[in-house]
Structure 1
């Protein structure tokens, strides 16, 4: 401690929220509508000893504030809030509990699970209506005063157009923890994201946008630790401003900024998966570590008339009350902090339907959506919603406002079912690859609003989609009862790994067909990290608690013959997409003529004849030709023809219309790809395969 702690704080200001260093001292401001007193607790450099406790001297518009002269960056602190402990009325104040600042930019020390963290007496017959008087400070991490200083140099946001965006979903720890070309102390941290070889890998795949699973500080759930497991995914937020301490190395907060700057220099955007729908503190039986102790009735949605209990539309025990103006302000301040202090390029909102809920249910004109879309900073970034939650009317795919893209699970499930060979899937498959216009073609939205994927962190990896019929989540310790039971997958003859060449060949074909569908469909393609070289989770489709080799990306696979070939294939797919405007997502295609006799979108059967309306209802039809065309700015007509065989047997496709010398660009039935001219009027396409032809060979592919 390099200053003398005074007897009292100066009044300070009610803004900005959090702890703000001005060069001469630190201003503290924290919201609580119902507290009777809030104390600032100051700790020594180790965070073990409380060396000062000073009441915040003033409260303006429900914001408590005070100013500590001569304090500066590195100061460790927390709060204690005084008020009624009356859970049945929604009040859970307990000044014996040290509270993390909701606006803390950095945390010092881990949370150490202890019964003292709970506002009530664990084991009491009165449950959470009892009151616990033990001090929790020794079990709590401390908030840290920081100063945001970083040389961004000439950094510029890439601002990749949505129509050219390719997303790569990755986990900060999992993507690098097994890389032997990175220093051991940097593996699993933000610093590893700046590794040139990783950036080269992304560029080689054609990735434009790196989407990171939650990076803000999250709780290691007690029930997992007691089972010898850990929260790996990070969807139990502890702080909405502080990065996860485990992801920081020697450079602290600037590790993340340096990674963003180097990714930007390579033209790659960075999107964060953010969790504002709930906190990791659970329901009424959870710990008192921040929001609950500061103002439970304001921060959370409580059951009307029985405020002891939490509305749980998230499945995580509580729901953040973003309809409250101060809570909404906190969310907006958090988003702007990531966007401005770390130059993040966009956000993917976990359980986005929850954030759009008002008193009457989901509302695309909710305060949350309106606040973001009018914001001069946030409205210019990429905004993606996970469009569902578990509450009433919680499935809202396609119903978000313009400006938001949405994870399209109907694409995932429909495309898996088609390539699995399910009957009656041809019409749905056509709808999905043409941008899911049935869901998104409204309010002038564009096809890019559909985030197209067949695998994400939540569910099977791509390798497991073609290797397992059933989920295998036994390692999670829940008797395989967790995770979705229906994955629309197929093991093609053997459950799990096999050495059977025929099965391996078939799995490879289906894998490549699935990847081709994601890459070449209208919409925004998203890849799961490691799918480009065959990463498996051994059939676990809910690996949220597997912080081990089951979840980590094994880069040795990328060096294997099969893995390298698959990565090269993905690169070819993205190159084809990039070279043809007709395959991008600038507008919905409706079969309009772009040149004499050539429409922007046309559907044919394997005989080269246009599909009549009744043919779409044929449940056994699994063959399809889709032709896309566009007229470029230079007056050049581009035509791309996709031959799709979702059946088991090879089919001869006769090309539609006037005879052209088609150029073969993609043949998913083969691991290796070669460009060649196809002068014949027809072509055999093996089962479970996609062939892509065009009327020209792009210069980049010659």
Structure 2
């Protein structure tokens, strides 16, 4: 079997400690920056033949904030529209946890991914026996009198015993959740005083949306938010209910050509589909 050169992207545990791997095929340099308050530690990353950059540092432990910076010159129409800027702080596209600075900037946060699944596996219900309930995590239990008030509108509320009993009574075998990835409101909506309730403006595809976690989990940080999400999945699976996720890849929180540079676009514009002239293509 041929090894996938793009495997193990994001933060993993290597033989000598934590390793971060990110693809930035056209970059000439990528730095891993670690919050080492009151300063920052800059770790130059090394590139392999497939355009994957790697960096390691023992400081990459749960709770630590980190980000990336990329440098280079556009080398093809696909990334002419967004030149590299080594002064811009970028998100790791595979970050499992996110946090914000005092100035509101997003940062990756190292999380503790350990979790005891207790032998619970996904039910694997045959499609011809599947009954799907599409749900919004916040909206489904936000006003439910059958869920404790502090859990309403949360991952834990969706997995509460009364919620599961209701789903089972309906004969549901799978819940299809509207976007649960960390998302933000579009800039134009913010300017108009609105918000994106549905979540179709993804900031990070691998970090659970923090606002859907219980207050206690939010206060405890990204690791606790991830545990609450996994706990929801475990309880639903144990009840014979599959968890399906609604994922939309045709746009992100970086929005259109003139949108903010948050992560993907700053690492390599080829993360997005373009026509031969470098214009966005669907």
Alignment TM class, shorter chain as reference:
0.7 to 0.9
1:15 deviates by 5.5
Aligned to 1:299: 271
Superposed CA offset, 1:400-422 (max 9, x none):
xxxxxxxxxxxxxxxxxxxxxxx
Total equivalences in the alignment: 268
Residue pair 1:107, 1:144 contacting (<8 A) in 2 also: yes
RMSD: 2.4
Q: 2:60 maps to what in 1? A: 71
Instruction: Give the match for residue 574 of structure 1.
Output: none
CA contact (8 A) 1:39 1:53 kept: yes
CA distance in 2, matches of 1:174, 1:14: 37
Map 1:65-464 → 2, pairs under 5 A: 65-69=54-58, 71-84=60-73, 89-109=80-100, 138-249=103-214, 250=217, 251-296=224-269, 298-304=270-276, 306-307=277-278, 309-311=279-281, 313=282
Structure 2 distance, partners of 1:57, 1:156, is 38
Shift of 1:44: 4.6
Aligned-pair CA distance for 1:18: 0.9
Where 2:211 maps in the other structure, the secondary structure is helix
Map of 2:40 onto structure 1: 51
* Structure with the greater alpha carbon radius of gyration: 1
2: CA distance, partners of 1:36 / 1:44: 25
CA displacement, residues 94-113 of structure 1 (integer Å, 9 cap, x when unaligned):
11211000111111128x9x
> What pairs up with 1:487-506 in 2 under 5 angstroms?
none
CA displacement at 1:23 relative to structure 2: 8.1
Given that residues 14 and 60 in structure 1 are in contact (C-alpha distance below 8 angstroms), is that contact kept between their aligned partners in structure 2?
A: no
Pair 1:24–1:179, CA change in 2 (3 A)? farther
Retained in 1: the 8 A contact 2:182–2:202?
A: yes
The whole-number CA distance in structure 2 between the counterparts of 1:210 and 1:302 is: 34
How much does 1:139 deviate?
A: 3.9
Residues 239 and 89 of structure 1: is their aligned pair in 2 closer, same or farther, counting only changes over 3 Å?
A: same
How has the CA–CA distance of structure 1 residues 236 and 197 changed in structure 2, closer, same or farther, with 3 Å as cutoff? same
CA contact (8 A) 1:14 1:63 kept: yes
Q: 2 CA distance for matches of 1:176 and 1:84?
A: 49
1:21 alignment partner in structure 2 = 13
Residue matched to 2:220: none
Distance 2:15 2:164 in 1: 37
- SS in structure 2 opposite 1:246? helix
C-alpha deviation, 1:192, in angstroms = 0.8
Instruction: List per-residue Cα deviations over 1:263-313 (Å, max 9, x = no partner).
Output: 1222111111111233221221100001110001x2112231x32x312x3
Q: Counterparts in 2 of 1:608-623, with a 5 A limit?
A: none
Distance 1:25 1:168 in 2: 42
Contact kept in structure 1, 2:123 and 2:241, CA below 8 Å: yes
- The structure, 1 or 2, with the larger RCO (C-alpha pairs under 8 Å, 6+ apart) is 2
1:239 is paired with a residue of what secondary structure? strand
Q: State which of 30, 33, 50 in structure 1 corresponds to 2:22.
A: 30
SS at match of 2:253: coil
Q: Which residue of 2 aligns with 1:42?
A: 34
Q: Judging changes above 3 Å, is the alpha-carbon distance between structure 1 residues 50 and 243 closer, same or farther for their aligned structure 2 residues?
A: farther
The verdict on how the C-alpha distance between 1:230 and 1:266 changes in structure 2, with shifts beyond 3 A counting, is same
Deviation of the 1:195 alpha carbon: 0.8
Could you tell me how far 1:85 is from its partner in structure 2?
A: 6.2
TM-score normalized by the length of structure 1: 0.36
Do the aligned partners of residues 17 and 199 (structure 1) sit closer, same or farther apart at CA in structure 2, a change above 3 Å counting?
A: same
TM-score (norm 2): 0.86
What is the distance in 2 between the residues matched to 1:175 and 1:36? 47
Q: Distance in 2 between matches of 1:303 and 1:50?
A: 42
Per-residue CA deviation, residues 623-667 of structure 1 (Å, 9 max, x unaligned), is xxxxxxxxxxxxxxxxxxxxxxxxxxxxxxxxxxxxxxxxxxxxx
Residue 252 of structure 1 aligns to a residue whose secondary structure is helix
Question: 2:59 and 2:95 mapped to 1: Cα distance?
Answer: 19
Secondary structure, counterpart of 2:139 in structure 1: coil
Structure 2 Cα separation of the partners of residues 239 and 27 of structure 1: 19
Farther-moved stretch of structure 1 (18-27 vs 256-265): 18-27
Q: Deviations over 1:490-510 (max 9, x none)?
A: xxxxxxxxxxxxxxxxxxxxx
CA contact (8 A) 2:208 2:225 kept: no
1:343-394 deviation digits (Å, cap 9, x = unpaired): xxxxxxxxxxxxxxxxxxxxxxxxxxxxxxxxxxxxxxxxxxxxxxxxxxxx
Compared CA separation, residues 32 and 258, structure 1 to 2 (3 A): same
Q: Secondary structure at the match of 2:33?
A: strand
Higher-strand-fraction structure: 2
